Amino acid sequence: MSSTITIPRPDDWHLHLRDGVMLRAVVPHSAQDFARAIIMPNLVPPVRTGADAAAYAERIQAAIPDGADFTPLMTLYLTETTDPDDVEAAFAAGVITALKLYPAGATTNSDAGVRNFANAHGVFERMEALGIPLLTHGEVTAPDIDIFDREARFIDDVLDPLRQRFPRLRVVMEHITTRDGADYVASAPEGLMGATITVQHLMLNRNHMLVGGVRPHYYCLPILKRSTHQDALLSAATSGNPRFFLGTDSAPHPTHLKENACGCAGVFSSPNALACLAQTFEDAGALDRFEGFVSRHGADFYGLPVNTSTLQLERVETPQPVPAPIIVGEETVTVFDPIRPIHWRVIR
């Protein structure tokens, strides 16, 4: 037996597309299922200015397959030398949607991130006045802080003081991974704070990555946490609370750089994210809230209309295979393996 659900075409509110040959290889996999996506700016060199963002958007547009309806929503990489006037001009022109805050050294290509947050206060003040969202990679990077505690410490040491100083600043705490993050976002005024949650953090915990051998394709940053945190994220995502919405954080790396003595952080989930999430919501008895999480809450937070086009998913009796690795030049990128049987597929 099969059944289908029809939802407004989803959006991905946190996506890495990279550049060059990788960009051209991965864009079609997001464009086939998602209508819009917030594009991360951590290239080498980073997307720092409005001109950088406009040029990157052109490269993305050139990689979108003919006939596909996909809109990249561009962001700037916040640094201590970001010009508030350039931010305002790029936002007013519709070139950018948000700014991304990477604490220096927190994740892939984040070395140009912020070390002294006071140096960015002029940008925060302008963003608060204009209603430009600040997207945060919510981890501190001090070497004496355990990697599993970095999100909670970011809330206490960075985010809460920042929000107290700029109380009308609109913030998205991206890819939350802890009960601390979920509780903090849930307690914030609606419309001023949201959070994205990834596929892997809903479906996996650190045991999946570490027990029985290290599984490098589950290594991402922020790192997978205890099962109690996974449960808290699942409760938040399936709650119907509009503060929580999908951001896959799909982050492609060549397979040989994941399966490496010093493997890269990132999970590539764009090809099967929606099928995995439909299974996750069904397993949680919350399939009726799936549409809100993937299609409505993020659009509402960003002040954008819900997509009028639709997408259909079908539940089938036979579990669906994990998609094959994608070819990127002479390399491959491994697709996320959710471990559990997936009985859903997108009808294309």
Residues annotated as catalytic are 249
d(CA 127, CA 78): 12
What gap in Å lies between CA 120 and CA 129, rounded to an integer?
A: 15
Left, alpha or beta for 18 (phi > 0: left; psi -120 to 50: alpha)? Answer: left
Query: Per this entry, what is the length of the chain?
Result: 348
Which among 113, 93, 94 has a CA at the least distance from the CA of 40? 113
What is the pairing mode between strands 344-346 and 3-8? Answer: unpaired
Alpha carbons 183 and 191: distance in angstroms, whole number: 16
- Residue 319's Cβ-side half-sphere holds a number of Cα atoms within 13 Å equal to 10
Helix residue ranges per DSSP H, the chain: 20-31, 50-63, 84-92, 121-130, 150-154, 160-165, 179-186, 199-203, 206-210, 227-237, 255-258, 273-283, 290-291, 297-302
The residue whose two tokens read 């609606």 is: 190
CB atoms within 10 A of CB 207: 12
* Half-sphere exposure (Cβ direction) of 65: Cα atoms closer than 13 Å: 11
Decide if 272 contacts 333 (C-beta within 8 A). Answer: no
The structure tokens listed for 221 are 């940053």
Stretch (H or E) spanning 344: strand 344-346
Angle between helices 50-63 and 20-31 (to 10 degrees): 70
